[in-house]
Amino acid sequence: HCILLYSSRFVAINLINEEIVCNDSIGACFGIPKELVWDVKNGALFYYTSSHIFGCSIWEEDRNIWKLLLDKNDFEGALKLTKNNPRNNDLVNQSIAANYIEKKEYMKAAELYAKTNSHFESTIMQFVELDSKYLIEYLTIKLPFYQNNPVQKHLIVMWIIDMYLIGLCRTNNNGDINSSFAKFLRIPLVKKCIETYPSAYYKVIEHYGNGEFLVYTARLLMDYEKIINYHISHNEYFDAFEK
């Protein structure tokens, strides 16, 4: 704020939006104000005349300053002012994530959006036309938030698996995708989902003809019968014997 003390008026101006936030007249009966005094210990501002002392009550206006900072893309300042207010802090982080989208920093956006309470469906729509790795990142981080919602949890895991398999088909078993997919399947929550409905997950993997990850998934579940049957059906008898 910019604080101005005149002979008959006290004025405070918000330096962020240049609006006058306090404009108090000082009656002649109180005398002419002599000086502004800042109480460092209590964080309070006063001014006084020869006979009266007045406190300046403009500081509650600061509770909305974070919105002004946000409008100016001063994210660091907005985060600092909302650190003790989870709801407002979440809104600031959503704005930061949206800014990442504008700057085409999609991975940062996906990671941050997943940690906020942004609307699930509308957030997803921002990534569906992009490389699937960004949506996979968002959904993977978001998954634990739905661990007590069986339907949503399984839908997300199925969707992520489907995107990985599509990616492998398109890139002819890209090594990075292979590694990332294997890591995803080892996540305890994901493994538990597959263990609950193994036949449903096997069916998704089989649909893409990805024998490598069918066997990998069966091995994670210690489903040796599935592994043996797969190798026998492909005339891989030696592999079936080994497993």
Per DSSP, the three-state class of 28 is helix
Report which of residues 3 and 63 the model is more confident about: 3
User: How far is residue 50's CA from residue 62's CA, in Å, rounded to a whole number?
Assistant: 30
Report which of residues 143 and 28 the model is more confident about: 143
Per DSSP, the three-state class of 106 is helix
Per DSSP, the three-state class of 39 is strand
Predicted structure pTM score: 0.74
DSSP string, 120-133: HHHHHHTTTTS-HH
Task: Please answer whether residues 61 and 68 qualify as being in contact, where contact means their C-beta atoms are separated by less than 8 angstroms.
Answer: no
Model pLDDT, residue 120 = 94
Task: Please answer whether residues 214 and 230 qualify as being in contact, where contact means their C-beta atoms are separated by less than 8 angstroms.
Answer: yes
The set of residues, in sequence order, having a beta carbon less than 8 Å from that of 201 and lying 6+ positions away, is 157, 158, 161, 193, 194, 217
For residue range 129-177, list pLDDT tens digits in order.
999 999 999 999 999 999 999 999 999 999 999 999 999 888 776 778 8
| Residue 79 confidence (pLDDT) above 70 | yes
Report which of residues 11 and 62 the model is more confident about: 11
Model pLDDT, residue 13 = 78
- Mean pLDDT of the residues in the chain: 86
Model pLDDT, residue 36 = 80
Model pLDDT, residue 235 = 66
For residue range 31-74, list pLDDT tens digits in order.
788 888 877 777 777 778 888 887 776 655 556 788 888 988 99
For residue range 80-99, list pLDDT tens digits in order.
989 889 999 999 999 999 99
Of 21-25, 115-119, 127-131, 140-144, which range is least confident? 21-25
Partnered with residue 39 across adjacent β-strands are 44
Model pLDDT, residue 199 = 94
Confidence class of residue 100 from pLDDT cuts 50, 70 and 90? Answer: very high
Model pLDDT, residue 61 = 54
